[in-house]
Amino acid sequence: MDFSGRQRTKQELNVAPLIDVVFLLLIFFMLASTFIKPEAIDLMLEGSSTGGNAAEEMLNIEVVVDGTIRLNGLRLSMPQLETELASRIQGDQTRPVTIKAAAEVPVQTLVSIMDRVRAAGTNNLRLATPEAR
């Protein structure tokens, strides 16, 4: 019995071309991608020298869908809002005022309220979203 007639060739998987392709893809995607520097908003944070009560300093304006305006729970008309804010702010331009409006409130109403707040003498205006129910 002669078993040496046909010799089997040993098949190998050559990984060198596969590594070349992987490195070429890596280089391609590294060069094709854009690296964007993240932009941030410059904020001027104020330190507190006294431990004052933040709840007393905050003025909250709530605007309901039907056009009702409330300043810290007090129902006001648009002209009353400006005079009431001016009396509570008393020239303190850093006093925070938060406006919380329902999603259905017209934008013009919101802009009018923002104008009244600035006319009352503050520049620290914040917009808040209402809580989900």
How do residues 9-43 score in pLDDT, each as one tens digit? 778 888 999 999 999 999 999 988 877 776 766 66
70 inside domain: yes
In angstroms, the CA 97 to CA 86 distance is: 12
- Give, in order, the Cα–Cα distances in Å from 43 to each of 46, 47, 114: 9, 12, 21
User: Residues near 82 by Cβ (< 8 Å), separated by ≥ 6?
Assistant: 116, 119, 120
Which of these, 89, 67, 93, 88, lies nearest to 78 by C-alpha position?
67
* CA pair distance 62, 66, nearest whole angstrom: 12
Query: Is residue 98 situated within a structural domain?
Result: yes
Q: Calculate the CA dihedral of residues 43, 82, 128, 124 and round it to 10 degrees.
A: 10
Residue 49: inside a domain, yes or no? no
Whether the full predicted model's pTM is greater than 0.75, yes or no, is no
Structural domain tally of the chain? 1
Per residue in 40-68, pLDDT (tens digit) is 666 666 665 555 544 456 789 999 888 88
Domain that holds residue 106: 56-128
In a domain, 4, yes or no: no
pLDDT band at 120 (very low <50, low <70, confident <90, very high): confident
Backbone angles phi, psi at 48, to 5 degrees: -100, 120
- Classify residue 79: in a domain, yes or no: yes
